[in-house]
């Protein structure tokens, strides 16, 4: 048995864990990080990055297929298009490899010791790690729990065979002819749309009355319209019951009764749960909110010297939230004064079209007691959107009626994910409608729609 000691021990090398480790190393803290798989966690290896790579490949193939179908407004003609999914996945895996290798290099540069294996807590200061070379015991002054999350499994549809999670969906080497997606949230719709663009017949089953239930109907409408244009069937207020007797179809229950949906693959994407079992966390008796670890505004748990960051601490379960928490905790461990006081954490759906939201939605703002001004500008009046043949969607600003302080910014449209940083900066810096309206926005860009939305809220839009 080997034994080492350190000042900071981080369990999990996902976005939160590895950022915390790199920052701690830069601050001169003796740091060890434990990871069973490859550095990068779910996001880099089986989540954000591979899914966006697959979405890009699907978009590219869809464009090629459209151009090969006949005449188009651009006058471009190409001959038949096809896709080799195994090569697509190999390209995706190469990107993942580059990024995970980069993370390993950054950890080494920051002089962080990496221990590969499964961690199990003995107590709040001691962890055992089962490695390939034997048991490693690590004693530490401070622990950061960054164990991430796993896909939620339905009792009626356990993973295995044709029932898959997003992890398996991102490793398929053959295109399923018929794909049924259980769950109309961002994960299900992103992957469902990608497979539809590559040629699968896709049906989405959502238990609530609306897909993307965390967003308002105005933001969802352009996505729902595009799903219909692509032939993707959407069943709302529908509950997945289980497989049919033959195992060849998914049985769903709707207001009209039960029906069977033939499927070659069934993708279950109904959410994610914190990874808190199997590592001895139960023995630490940490306070929880439901299944999530409870933390304060410094990401400190109920046990002295034990912090938790990322998905294991609850919503929003986003990589950039985990990264920000990890960087903050490293500074706290180094003795600096920091606290979690974010006015907004932007969220993105890489659907078709994309959705981005920062701050408060209109109804959320009203729910906080604000009288609001709302400005909305459509991409149908935006020159750049016209020149790239995609005028779906709009930009919307939500502001206080009295002070004009911006409370929320949202957009739906092609490529609007890149607005996330601008939206977040505006809200974090306390921008008012007048600030955005008076800022010169470059022409021709989609970003001009942000300025026009602010002008609209002030009552004097120029181009609509």
77 and 118 assigned to the same domain: yes
141 and 17 assigned to the same domain: yes
The answer to whether residue 66 is domain-embedded is yes
Instruction: Tally Cβ neighbours within 10 Å of residue 222.
Output: 20
Question: What own/partner pairs with CB < 8 Å and gap ≥ 24 does 296-305 have?
Answer: 297/339, 297/340, 297/341, 298/328, 298/329, 298/332, 298/338, 298/339, 298/340, 299/325, 299/328, 299/329, 299/332, 299/340, 301/145, 303/124, 304/124, 305/124, 305/125, 305/141, 305/142, 305/143
Confidence band (pLDDT; 50, 70, 90) for 52? Answer: very high
The pLDDT value given to residue 177 = 98
302 and 412 assigned to the same domain: no
184 and 145 assigned to the same domain: no
414 and 360 assigned to the same domain: yes
Question: For the residues 204-216, what does the mean pLDDT come to?
Answer: 96
353 and 399 assigned to the same domain: yes
The pLDDT value given to residue 80 = 82
Using a 10 angstrom Cβ sphere, with 0-12 exposed, 13-18 middle and 19 or more buried, the burial of residue 257 is exposed
Query: Is there a contact between 151 and 165 (Cβ–Cβ < 8 Å)?
Result: yes
- Final residue of a structural domain among 333, 362, 380: 333
Question: For the residues 359-367, what does the mean pLDDT come to?
Answer: 97
The answer to whether residue 137 is domain-embedded is yes
| Overall domain count for the chain | 3
The answer to whether residue 142 is domain-embedded is yes
Question: For the residues 82-86, what does the mean pLDDT come to?
Answer: 94
Question: For the residues 148-160, what does the mean pLDDT come to?
Answer: 96
Instruction: Tally Cβ neighbours within 10 Å of residue 424.
Output: 20
The answer to whether residue 11 is domain-embedded is yes
228 and 352 assigned to the same domain: no
104 and 233 assigned to the same domain: no
In whole angstroms, give the CA distance from residue 397 to residue 372: 10
Question: For the residues 377-387, what does the mean pLDDT come to?
Answer: 97
Confidence band (pLDDT; 50, 70, 90) for 279? Answer: confident
What CATH number does residue 220 fall under?
3.50.50.60
Confidence band (pLDDT; 50, 70, 90) for 2? Answer: confident
Domain that holds residue 18: 2-150+273-333
pTM: 0.94
- Final residue of a structural domain among 216, 239, 268: 268
What CATH number does residue 429 fall under?
3.30.390.30
Q: Encode pLDDT of 70-83 as tens digits.
A: 777 888 888 888 99
Confidence band (pLDDT; 50, 70, 90) for 1? Answer: low
HSE-up of residue 133 (Cα within 13 Å, Cβ side): 7
392 carries an active-site annotation: no
Q: Measured on CA atoms in the order 294, 299, 304, 305, is the torsion positive or negative?
A: positive
The answer to whether residue 102 is domain-embedded is yes
247 and 294 assigned to the same domain: no
Counting residues of the chain whose pLDDT is more than 90, the rounded percentage is 93
Question: For the residues 278-306, what does the mean pLDDT come to?
Answer: 93
The answer to whether residue 340 is domain-embedded is no
143 and 46 assigned to the same domain: yes
Query: Is 321 a residue whose pLDDT tops 80?
Result: yes
130 and 264 assigned to the same domain: no
The pLDDT value given to residue 395 = 98
Counting residues of the chain whose pLDDT is more than 70, the rounded percentage is 100
> Given 300, 368, 443, 463, which residue is catalytic?
443
Q: Encode pLDDT of 25-48 as tens digits.
A: 999 999 999 999 999 999 999 999
In whole angstroms, give the CA distance from residue 204 to residue 51: 18
Query: Is 246 a residue whose pLDDT tops 90?
Result: yes
22 and 110 assigned to the same domain: yes
The answer to whether residue 463 is domain-embedded is no
The answer to whether residue 218 is domain-embedded is yes
Q: Encode pLDDT of 158-178 as tens digits.
A: 999 999 999 999 999 999 999
């Amino acid at each position: 048995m080997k034994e080492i000691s350190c000042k900071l021990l981080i369990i999990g090398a996902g976005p939160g864990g590895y950022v915390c480790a790199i920052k701690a190393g830069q601050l001169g803290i003796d740091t060890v990080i434990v990871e069973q798989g490859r550095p990068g966690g779910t996001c880099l290896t089986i989540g954000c990055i591979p899914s966006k790579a697959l979405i890009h490949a699907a978009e590219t193939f869809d464009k090629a297929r459209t151009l090969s179908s006949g005449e188009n407004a651009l006058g471009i003609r190409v001959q038949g298009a096809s896709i080799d999914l195994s090569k697509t996945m190999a390209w995706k895996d190469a990107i993942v490899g580059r990024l995970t290798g980069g993370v390993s290099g950054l950890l080494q540069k920051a002089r962080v010791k990496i221990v590969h294996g499964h961690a199990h807590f003995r107590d709040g200061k001691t962890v055992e790690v089962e490695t390939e070379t034997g048991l490693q015991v690590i004693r530490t002054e401070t622990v950061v729990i960054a164990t991430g999350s796993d896909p939620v499994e339905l009792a009626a549809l356990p993973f295995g065979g044709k029932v898959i999670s997003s992890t398996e969906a991102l490793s398929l080497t053959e295109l399923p002819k018929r794909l049924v997606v259980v769950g109309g949230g961002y994960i299900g719709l992103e992957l469902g749309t990608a497979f539809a663009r590559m040629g699968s017949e896709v049906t989405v089953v959502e238990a609530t009355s609306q897909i993307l239930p965390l967003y308002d109907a105005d933001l969802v409408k352009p996505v729902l319209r595009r799903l219909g244009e692509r032939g993707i069937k959407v069943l709302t207020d529908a509950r997945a019951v289980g497989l049919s007797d033959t195992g060849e179809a998914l049985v769903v229950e709707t207001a009209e009764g039960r029906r069977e949906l033939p499927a070659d693959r069934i993708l279950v994407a109904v959410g994610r749960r914190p990874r808190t079992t199997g590592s001895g966390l139960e023995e630490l008796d940490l306070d929880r909110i439901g299944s999530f670890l409870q933390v304060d505004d410094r990401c400190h748990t109920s046990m002295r010297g034990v912090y938790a960051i990322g998905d294991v601490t609850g919503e929003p379960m986003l990589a950039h939230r985990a990264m920000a928490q990890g960087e903050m905790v490293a500074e706290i461990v180094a003795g600096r004064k920091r606290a979690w006081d974010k006015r907004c954490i932007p969220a993105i759906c890489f659907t078709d079209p994309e959705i981005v939201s920062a701050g408060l939605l209109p109804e959320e703002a009203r729910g906080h007691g604000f009288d609001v001004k709302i400005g909305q500008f459509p991409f149908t009046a935006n020159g750049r959107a016209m020149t790239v043949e995609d005028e779906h969607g709009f930009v919307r600003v939500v502001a206080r009626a009295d002070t004009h302080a911006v409370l929320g910014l949202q957009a739906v449209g092609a490529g609007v994910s890149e607005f996330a940083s601008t939206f977040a900066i505006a809200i974090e810096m306390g921008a008012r409608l007048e600030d955005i309206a008076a800022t010169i926005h470059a022409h021709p860009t989609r970003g001009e729609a942000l300025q026009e939305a602010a002008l609209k809220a002030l009552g004097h839009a120029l181009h609509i």
